[in-house]
Amino acid sequence: MAPRPRRDRPAVTAPRPARGRPAVHPGAWWLWALGLGTAATRTTNPILLALLVATSAYVVAARRTSAPWSRSYAAFVKLGLAVLTIRLLFAVVLGSPIPGTHTVLTLPEVPLPHWAQGIRLGGRVTAEGLLFALYDGLKLATLLICVGAANALANPARLLKSLPGALYETGVAVVVALTFAPHLIADVQRLRAARRLRGRPDRGLRGLLQVGLPVLEGALERSVALAAAMDARGFGRTADVPPAVRRTTTALTLGGLLGICAGTYGLLTAEGGVYGLPLLLAGSAAALAGLRLGGRRSPRTRYRPDVWNARAWLVAGSGITTAALLVVSAAYDPAALRPGVVPLTAPALPLLPAAAVLLGLLPAFVTPAPEESV
């Protein structure tokens, strides 16, 4: 590490991403996934929803790395299935407001006292009600799976690194909290296993409760150790900022937030249509300026920040376009995107929206394949 004479390098525009760095800005993946998710909220057509899930699954399978967070997609798929199941169960047990004629089965109805009017337990279960619940659940599950895709493709911690400097410390708190949970789970598993060494059953709820206290103690100790390590490595160093700048920062941030509140209120109430939008915009601008000035207090720099390049535009753009096209189609052709359940009809495949969904596959072709890391 001897200091070497160094010449200023010309700005290099590297077309190929460096080895091991994300090829695409994590924010782009999140925009893409949220675009697909938005598209999912615009339709209940099971074929379109299935197409959305398939699109996200294909891109994840093609472009995820071998990092630990990449495995979260499967977890989100399971979560989506659980949501779907719960939605169906509710429709069966609590009945459905959808009027239907095709009775699938009849559960014994539990008589409820009159103050619980409007709630039904058991009773007739109709095919229409079930189908409606299925469509509805599928929509929610698709949304969750899209979020899972974003999680699998972009490290959430890296996204937080793109926060403005003034929010950096909040970001670190979130990152530490995110890594806290996996450690806690590992601790619980280790301590439950250790119960076996004491001759106690290592399964069951009681075992879990008894290791609770040691696990929390261990977690607390680890947090304190981490805080010490971070402090010793310069976390939270502040730069000297002239008082004038400090006061301006406070004024801008507070004023901006007030402006945003007032502007939002104005937009939402009928009378405030005139001053609402300008106030909101001015407030946002002031708040952003405040954040930017606040960043001066922190002397931090960023190591190899992710760059927003043409690929990132394409990835984000494909998601946003899909969302926009489905929003437009939902306005023009609501029947195709929300197939009726009364009377029972088979959902058709609307060609234009389907093509729009397939646009979401674009990232699988425009981004480089992940390298096989060890």
Partner 1 sequence: MIRFENVSVTYDGAAEPAVQGIDFTVPEGELVLLVGPSGTGKSTVLGSVSGLVPHFTGGTLRGRVTVAGRDTRTHKPRELADVVGTVGQDPLSHFVTDTVEDELAYGMESLGLAPDVMRRRVEETLDLLGLNELRNRPIATLSGGQQQRVAIGSVLTTHPKVLVLDEPTSALDPAAAEEVLAVLQRLVHDLGTTVLMAEHRLERVIHYADRIALLPSPGARPVLGTPAEVMAVSPVYPPVVDLGRLAGWSPLPLTIRDARRRASDLRARLTDVVAPATDGHSPQGNAVPHTEPPHTKPEIPAPRRFLRRRPAHPAPEPSTPHLAADVSALAVQRGPVKALRHVDLTVAPGETVALMGRNGAGKSTLLSALVGLVPPAHGSVRVGGTVPHRAAPRELVRRVGLVPQEPRDLLYADTVAAECAAADQDAGAAEGSCRALVSELLPGVGDDTHPRDLSEGQRLALALAVVLTARPPLLLLDEPTRGLDYAAKARLVTVLRALAAEGHALVLATHDVELAAEIAHRVVVLAEGEVVADGLTAEVVVASPSFAPQVTKVLAPQPWLTVSQVREALSS
Binding of partner 1 at residue 228 (CB under 8 A)?
yes
Pick one of 193, 281, 331, 369: the residue that binds partner 1 (CB under 8 A): 193
For partner 1, the closer of residues 124 and 222 by Cβ is 222
Shortest gap between Cβ of 29 and partner 1 (angstroms)? 17
State the number of binding residues for partner 1 (CB under 8 A).
56
Pick one of 71, 78, 196, 247: the residue that binds partner 1 (CB under 8 A): 196
- Per CB under 8 A, the segment of 96-104, 115-123, 250-258, 300-308 that binds partner 1 is 300-308
The 3-state secondary structure of the chain reads: CCCCCCCCCCCCCCCCCCCCCCCCCHHHHHHHHHHHHHHHHCCCCHHHHHHHHHHHHHHHHHHCCCCHHHHHHHHHHHHHHHHHHHHHHHHHHHCCCCCCCCEEEEEEEECCCHHHCCCCEEEEEEHHHHHHHHHHHHHHHHHHHHHHHHHHHCCHHHHHHCCCHHHHHHHHHHHHHHHHHHHHHHHHHHHHHHHHHCCCCCCCHHHHHHHHHHHHHHHHHHHHHHHHHHHHCCCCCCCCCCHHHHHHHHHHHHHHHHHHHHHHHHHHCCCCHHHHHHHHHHHHHHHHHHHHHHHHHCCCCCCCCCCCCHHHHHHHHHHHHHHHHHHHHHHHCHHHHCCCCCCCCCCCCCHHHHHHHHHHHCHHHHCCCCCCCC
Q: For residue 72, what are its two tokens?
A: 């979260």
Binding of partner 1 at residue 210 (CB under 8 A)?
yes
Binding of partner 1 at residue 374 (CB under 8 A)?
yes
For partner 1, the closer of residues 39 and 154 by Cβ is 154
Binding of partner 1 at residue 172 (CB under 8 A)?
yes
How would you class 307 by CB atoms within 10 Å of its CB: exposed for 0-12, middle for 13-18, buried for 19 or more?
middle
Binding of partner 1 at residue 50 (CB under 8 A)?
no
Pick one of 180, 235, 308, 313: the residue that binds partner 1 (CB under 8 A): 235
Separation between Cα atoms, residue 338 and residue 47, nearest integer Å: 11
* Residue count of the chain: 374
Binding of partner 1 at residue 226 (CB under 8 A)?
yes
Pick one of 78, 200, 206, 247: the residue that binds partner 1 (CB under 8 A): 200
Shortest gap between Cβ of 1 and partner 1 (angstroms)? 4
Instruction: List Cβ<8 Å contacts ≥24 apart for 210-219.
Output: 215/184, 215/187, 215/188, 215/191, 218/187, 219/180, 219/183, 219/184, 219/187
Shortest gap between Cβ of 363 and partner 1 (angstroms)? 21
Pick one of 10, 15, 68, 118: the residue that binds partner 1 (CB under 8 A): 68
- Per CB under 8 A, the segment of 90-98, 218-226, 260-268, 342-350 that binds partner 1 is 218-226
Binding of partner 1 at residue 71 (CB under 8 A)?
no
Pick one of 202, 292, 342, 358: the residue that binds partner 1 (CB under 8 A): 202
Q: Which of residues 139-158 bind partner 1 (CB under 8 A)?
A: 155, 157
- Per CB under 8 A, the segment of 85-93, 137-145, 266-274, 294-302 that binds partner 1 is 294-302
Pick one of 120, 124, 222, 297: the residue that binds partner 1 (CB under 8 A): 222
Binding of partner 1 at residue 20 (CB under 8 A)?
yes
Binding of partner 1 at residue 177 (CB under 8 A)?
no
- Per CB under 8 A, the segment of 138-146, 194-202, 249-257, 328-336 that binds partner 1 is 194-202
Q: Which residues of the shown chain bind partner 1 in the complex (CB under 8 A)?
A: 1-2, 4, 6, 9, 19-20, 67-68, 155, 157, 172, 175-176, 179, 190-191, 193-202, 210-211, 213-214, 217, 222, 225-237, 239, 299-305, 373-374
